[in-house]
Amino acid sequence: MPQQNQDKSVEATLYFFHHAEGKPVIEMSETHSVTNTRTGEFRNIPVTMRDARQLAAPASLDREGFALDRFETAVTDFYDEDQITGVYYPEIEAFLKTPTGATSVHIFDHTIRVQDDAKRTEKQVRLPVAPIHNDYTEWSGPKRVTDVMSAAEAERYLGHRFAMVNVWRSIGGSAERLPLAMADARTVEPDDFVASDLVYGDRTGEIFQVRHSQGQEWFYYPDMQPDEVVVLKCFDNATDGPSRYTAHGSFENPNAGPQLPPRESIEVRTMISFAPLT
Q: What is the pLDDT of residue 29?
A: 84
Q: Is the pLDDT of residue 3 over 80?
A: no
User: What mean pLDDT is predicted for residues 227-252?
Assistant: 96
User: What mean pLDDT is predicted for residues 39-46?
Assistant: 98
Per-residue pLDDT band for 127 (boundaries 50, 70, 90) equals confident
**CB atoms inside a 10 Å sphere around CB 3:** 5
Q: What is the pLDDT of residue 179?
A: 97
User: What mean pLDDT is predicted for residues 44-58?
Assistant: 98
Q: Helix/strand/coil (H, E, C) string of the chain? A: CCCCCCCCCEEEEEEEEEECCCCCEEECCCCCCCCCEECCEEEEEEEEEEEHHHCCCCCCCCCCCEEEEECCCCCCCCCCHHHHHHHHHHHHHHHHHHHHCCCEEEEEEEEEEECCHHHHHHHCCECCCCECEECCCCCHHHHHHHHHCCHHHHHHHHCCCEEEEEEEEECCCCCCCCCEEEECHHHCCHHHEEEEEEECCCCEEEEEEECCCCCCCEEECCCCCCCEEEEEEEEECCCCCCCCCCCEEECCCCCCCCCCCCCEEEEEEEEEECCCCC
Q: What is the pLDDT of residue 243?
A: 93
List the chain domain ranges. Answer: 10-53+61-273
* Weakest-pLDDT range from 1-10, 57-66, 135-144: 1-10
Q: What is the pLDDT of residue 32?
A: 63
User: What mean pLDDT is predicted for residues 111-117?
Assistant: 94
Q: Is the pLDDT of residue 107 over 90?
A: yes
pLDDT over 70 percentage in the chain: 98
Per residue in 9-35, pLDDT tens?
A: 999 999 999 999 999 999 988 776 678
Q: What is the pLDDT of residue 35?
A: 83
Per-residue pLDDT band for 88 (boundaries 50, 70, 90) equals very high
Per residue in 150-190, pLDDT tens?
A: 999 999 999 999 999 999 999 998 999 999 999 999 999 99
Identify the CA nearest to 17 among candidates 200, 252, 207, 176.
Answer: 207
Q: What is the pLDDT of residue 4?
A: 62
User: What mean pLDDT is predicted for residues 223-229?
Assistant: 97
Q: Is the pLDDT of residue 2 over 80?
A: no
